[in-house]
Amino acid sequence: MHRRAILIVLDGVGIGEMRDSYQYGDQGSNSLKNTAKAVGGLKLPNLKKLGLGNIEEILGVDPVDKPLGAYGKMEEKSCGKDSTVGHWEMMGLIMEKPFPTYPQGFPAEIIDEFERAIGRKTIGNKVASGTEIINELGDEHIKTGYPIVYTSADSVFQIAAHEEVVPVEQLYQWCLTARKLLLGDNGVGRVIARPFLGEKGCCTRTSNRHDFSLEPERNILDILQENQLTVIGVGKIKDLFAGRGLSESYPTKSNQEGTTKIIELIKKGVGDLIFANLLDFDQTYGHRNDVSGYASALEEFDGVLGTLLDLLYPEDLLFITADHGNDPTTPSTDHSREYVPLLVYGKNIKDDVDLEIRSSFADVGHTIAKYLGVRAGDMAGESFCELLRSN
């Protein structure tokens, strides 16, 4: 049986403010701990036995005497706190300079150039909650057909349009147009299509969101492919890496779709690396400060995790982590600069390994490469593969 790595990223599931969180206004953020406290405790028996409660005090998730695998947390070395930066760092890329943000909205030259390119005016152009701005400006958009452009604390250029006014494929084309314009000093991390439905203050976003990221430099995914290994993306991995470094991709619109696809791939025994992102914690609950929904999503994932663990092949190595925080209990609806949990499990690795605090998310990519017998070369990160050996 060949070795295989499965990396599951719980989007927005942080485990406590990082040392520099004050620079981002995220003091006090702890997505897991604060959520557990707010709902009177979390029921996560499978994550518990892997050692989640041994990383941090989480109400309802007690530490266990002998976790089944390795546990710890990771510090982000890159500047920023968004999905692109987090996932790229896992694959060995450190962002020394943050992607640009636009707290006052985009400058006139960007908006003017975009409007010329798509042949119509835009409305919005400010920092806003995505769920609020479509209700604020949705009626005007429906009447005029002008797309709603907005941003957030993250490096994003978001375009919202009603699906019955602007077909989704046209919205995607507008996003591709914006992506080609937003380069260099204005190279935002992501251009995001935000289609919605509804009318007169009752607008809701649909599941047809699509992200258009900058293309990363050469990274560990490329190295795996250069060594004839198969890399399968699940969820928005293809979007985050602009399609680079993937052999196959399976986009998903929910955690349920994502876990169903992961289980299907595990059962089939395919792939050398299955790299998956589960987005509901962040997109559906964190950004809306939906504490109970966030808690329920964690418990639902934990339930599926039990099945997943039973299906692993003897040489499979499972990594569970996150890309940033998104504490639903704080006033902010933005991402939070947090440590992320790290749980590693395999049927042939050592039990009860305390990985402590890893100095970079990139340690995951290095460890995966090492486990699969590939040299990660000069990519950032340090493998902890030796700590996992059972003999």
pLDDT at residue number 1: 64
- Is pLDDT of 250 > 80? yes
Where residue 199 falls among pLDDT bands split at 50, 70, 90? confident
Distance (Å, whole) CA 25 – CA 73: 21
- pLDDT averaged over every residue in the chain: 95
Work out the average pLDDT over 33-60. 98
- Residue-wise pLDDT tens digits, 347-386: 999 999 999 999 999 999 999 999 999 999 899 999 999 9
For the chain, give every domain's residue range.
Answer: 4-94+216-388, 108-213
Where residue 101 falls among pLDDT bands split at 50, 70, 90? very high
Of 118, 102, 245, 222, the closest CA to residue 170 belongs to 118
* 1 vs 116 pLDDT, higher one: 116
Work out the average pLDDT over 149-166. 94
- Is pLDDT of 340 > 90? yes
Where residue 391 falls among pLDDT bands split at 50, 70, 90? low
Distance (Å, whole) CA 341 – CA 9: 10
Task: Tell me which fold the domain 108-213 belongs to.
Answer: Alpha-Beta Plaits (3.30.70)
- Residue-wise pLDDT tens digits, 117-150: 999 999 999 999 888 999 999 999 999 999 999 9
Phi-psi region of 119 (alpha: psi -120 to 50; beta: other; left: phi over 0): left
Distance (Å, whole) CA 279 – CA 83: 10
DSSP 8-state code for residue 100: P
Maximum pairwise Cα distance, the chain:
68
- Is pLDDT of 390 > 90? no
Percent of the chain with pLDDT over 90: 91
Q: Looking at domain 4-94+216-388, which CATH architecture does it have?
A: 3-Layer(aba) Sandwich (3.40)
